[in-house]
A and B are shown apart, each in its own frame.
Chain A
C-alpha cells in the first residue's frame, strides 16, 4: 500500500474546508485513467499543494493580486512573468494564486528549466503539481491539450539576478512567443512585485550537482516576509496579430516577444508605483 497518497488525502481533509475540497473535484485536467495526467499531475496533490503553500500565501508573503479576469477560464493560454528571488517562491505564489482564484479551478503548468526534473523529490513533487520540464515538446503538447502555461522567459538568469538588478528584466527568451503564435494562444502578462527583494543575492557558487546550475549566496538564509503583489494584465492578442505559420518567422517571433516583454515591464512599473512599501 502506498502510504503517501493516503497521508496526502488525510492532510487535505484536515486542512481544507469541505467547500474547498469539493471545488477541486471540478479541477480541469486530462486524467489518463488512474488519477494522473500523462505529465504526472494529480488532482489530490494540487489540493495538497494549495494547502502547503497557504501559510506562505496568506501569512508570510500576504499576497495581493489583481487582474484575474484576464486569465482564460478554459482553453490554451501562456502566462509570462518576471522571475527572481534566488528560490522560486514567485512561481509557487502565482501557481497558488491561480489555483485559488480561478473558477472552475485551473492549474497553471509551470515550465521549468531542464535541470528541475533531475532533482530527486523536488522534480517529482513539482510534477504532481503540474510542472513540466522545459522542452518545447512538453509545452506544445500542453497547449494542444488546452492547458495554461506559466513561463518565466528570463529563466535561470532571472532567478539568479543580483540584488542591484532587481526589477530589471534579464534576457527575454522568445520561445513563449513562438509557442503562442504556433498554437494561436493568448499571452497573459503578469508581474510579481516583492519577490525581487525576498532574498537579496550577493553572489553564487557554481556547482555541478544534480543538475543545479549554482548555489545562490544570499543575505538571508530564508526569504524575508516581503509583501507580494501579483498583477495580471490584458492578454497580448497573439492569435489576432500573428498567423500560426508566422511562428517560423524569426522577426515576427522577436516582435511578439518584444510586445510581451513591454507588457510585463508596464505591469512591473505599475506595481512598483502602487505598492506602499516592501513589507
Chain B
C-alpha cells in the first residue's frame, strides 16, 4: 500500500448494527484508527443499552429503526451530512433464524435497498459496504469446495427466509454496482463463531452433545470477530468495489470443530438429525435449524479469499480462541 493511501483520511463512517458484536468491535477499531475522522453509530436500542462507550470522543450514537424509511432519510440527511460521512457500513440484519415475517424482511432487505438509494443522492457519502454472508452460496456435492465469488448462490425456493433475505439484499447491492455512482462493496463473510452474531453453528455447539450425520465430515471455515472487523475496516480505506469473500483463519472438519469446542460429537443416521434438532429447538429454545444447514453438514464449502487478499489487502490472521486449545 502506498504512503499516500496509508494517510488518506475519511471524514466520517456510519456503522449500522452498532449493538451487535461485530458493530461494536468495528466501532472500537474505527475510533482507534486515526485515518477516520468521526464515527456515526446507528443502533435500534438506546445508547446506554447498545454501546458501553457511546459517549466517546469522535463518536456519535443515534438510535434509529432502519425499517422506517423516513427515519433513515433523516439520519442520512441530518447527522450523517453534518458530520460529512463518506462511508456507510451496513451490518444490521436480523440475527435469529426464528425471526421471520414482513418486519424482518423490511429490516434485512428493504432497509438495505433504501439505504443504498438514499446514499446514492447523498452529498457526502461515496461508498457503501454491505456485510453479507457465506450462507448466500449454495453448497452441494457437485459444486466446487473452494467457493469463489462467482459460485452459484442459494436461490432454492425451499430456502428459509433467513437465507432468502440475505441473498436478496446481497443481490440488490450487486445489481447496483456500476449503475450507481456509489462505490459498492459486498463482503461475504464466513461464519463468525461468536455469541450474538446469529451464528447457527455457535448455537449448535452450545449443547454438550452435538449430533452430526453419520458418514460425513465436511470442511468448514470460520472467521473470528477480530478478522471480520479487520475486513470491514479494510473496506473503508480501499478504492476498489465489487464482491469479496472474507474467509477466516480456521478451516477444519465439523468433527474437529465439535471436539475443539469441548463437545461430544455423535454421528447418527442422517434421517435422525431433523427430528432431533426440531425437538431441541422446541423444548430448549435453541435457534439452530438443521434443515437450514443440512447441505453444509454433508458437503464441504470453504471461501476462497484470494480476491480479498489481492484487492483489499485482507488476510485472515486471527484464529478463533477454541475453548480446548
Contacts and interface: CB of A to CB of B under 8 A. Distances in A.
B141 A117 contact: yes
A124 B215 contact: yes
B299 interface: yes
Contacts of B141: 114-115, 117-118, 123, 133, 211
B65 interface: no
A178 B148 CA distance: 20
Interface string A134-160: 111110010000000000000000000
A239 B47 CA distance: 62
Contact of B146 (A34, A120, A138): A138
Main secondary structure of the interface of A (DSSP, over half): loop
Interface in B108-142: 141-142
A34 B215 contact: no
B144 A33 contact: no
A23 to B, nearest CB: 24
Interface stretch (B85-93, B223-231, B248-256): B248-256
A32 B251 contact: yes
A120 B216 contact: yes
A131 to B, nearest CB: 11
Nearest to A141: B146
B319 A137 contact: no
A121 B142 CA distance: 17
Contacts of B142: 114, 133-135
Contacts of A141: 144-146, 304
A38 B214 contact: no
A2 B216 contact: no
A127 B145 CA distance: 11
A133 B141 CA distance: 7
Q: How large is the interface on A (under 10, 10 to 19, 20 to 34, 35 or more residues)?
A: 20 to 34
A118 B259 CA distance: 24
B143 A124 contact: no
Interface in A9-68: 32-34, 36, 38-40
A1 interface: yes
Most buried by B among A38, A119, A124, A136: A38
A32 B256 CA distance: 13
B217 A39 contact: no
B300 interface: yes
B144 A137 contact: yes
Contacts of A133: 141-142, 145
B263 to A, nearest CB: 11
Interface in A88-140: 114-115, 117-121, 123-124, 127, 132-138
A117 B259 contact: no
Nearest to A1: B259
A38 B319 contact: no
A134 to B, nearest CB: 8
Most buried by A among B146, B213, B217: B146
B39 interface: no
A111 to B, nearest CB: 12
Nearest to A38: B302
Contacts of B215: 119-121, 123-124
Interface in B225-270: 249-253, 255-256, 259, 265, 270
Question: Chain B CB within 10 Å — which of A32, A34, A134, A136 has the most?
Answer: A34
Nearest to B143: A135
Contacts of B184: none
A124 B219 contact: no
A211 B319 CA distance: 36
B261 to A, nearest CB: 12
Nearest to A119: B215
Contacts of B214: 120
B304 A33 contact: no
Contacts of A136: 144
A192 B218 CA distance: 32
A40 to B, nearest CB: 5
A32 B253 CA distance: 11
A39 B216 contact: no
Contacts of B270: 120
13 contacts: A33-B250, A33-B251, A36-B256, A38-B300, A118-B141, A120-B215, A124-B215, A127-B300, A132-B145, A134-B142, A135-B144, A138-B144, A138-B146
3 smallest beta-carbon distances between A and B, as pairs: A120-B215, A137-B144, A32-B251
Interface of B: 141-146, 148, 151, 213-219, 221, 249-253, 255-256, 259, 265, 270, 298-300, 302, 304, 319
